[in-house]
A and B are shown apart, each in its own frame.
Chain A
């Protein structure tokens, strides 16, 4: 079974503070993704990476940075957290999306910014 582990599982942060969400995968996958989920918006792609030491912007990258120091680890960084960043964040990994490959999601991180 493919494994993607997110930490922390939940976090309360103050407005203007720095938040780091971590993701670790043991699937030997090249691709890793960060999505946020809000009611009425489905899953929206923030950043993704298909190789270590390189990241790509997704559809809503503003206010977020990403870091991929190794194939296994992918972090999402909120330098100055804002109220609008309250959401559930999912990390996922996959092989290249060329055939039957699927995304494997972590359990999610519930972030509340106060």
Chain B
């Protein structure tokens, strides 16, 4: 079973619209959540991180976190064609003497149509 689940698997939104992506972990060892973005043919790059309950906004991007339910969501307002990419949710898990490891979800493929 995937330790980090993302939904939906794919999403199409019109240019200027709102995209909402979800991510949940089933592992209580989770410490922190990140969102990475991967454009086609490129390597992933960190988009936003969130470590505390609540909301964090950076420009058109807003991230929410509910630590009790281990659920995070990413919202992109005024979506642009350049936002079309694979969005990966990642959670760090601490297993004591084995250190931290970062586990990724399958991703949500976002397409923004002009």
Residues on A facing B (Cβ under 8 Å): 31, 33, 35, 40-45, 48, 50, 56, 58-59, 90, 94, 96-100, 102-103, 105-108
Contact residue among A40, A56, A94, A99 (Cβ-Cβ distance under 8 Å from B98):
A56
Q: A56-B98, A97-B102 are in contact. List 20 more A-B contacts (CB 8 A).
A: A31-B99, A33-B101, A35-B104, A40-B106, A42-B88, A42-B104, A45-B101, A48-B99, A48-B101, A50-B100, A58-B101, A59-B3, A90-B43, A96-B99, A96-B100, A98-B100, A100-B49, A103-B102, A105-B43, A107-B43
Give the A-B pair count, Cβ closer than 8 A.
61
B99-114 interface bits toward A, Cβ cutoff 8 Å, 1 = contact, 0 = none = 1111111110000000
B101 near A102 with CB under 8 A, answer no
Known contacts A42-B88, A48-B99: A102-B34 contact under CB 8 Å: yes
What does DSSP make chain B's interface, helix, strand, loop or mixed?
strand
Q: Which A residues are in CB contact (< 8 Å) with B31?
A: 97-98
B32: CB under 8 A from chain A?
A: yes
Interface residues on B, range: 20 to 34
Can you offer 25 A-B residue contacts whose CB atoms are under 8 A?
Answer: A31-B100, A41-B106, A42-B88, A42-B104, A42-B106, A43-B44, A43-B88, A43-B104, A44-B104, A45-B103, A48-B99, A48-B101, A50-B100, A56-B99, A56-B101, A58-B101, A90-B44, A94-B102, A96-B99, A97-B31, A97-B102, A98-B32, A102-B46, A103-B46, A108-B43
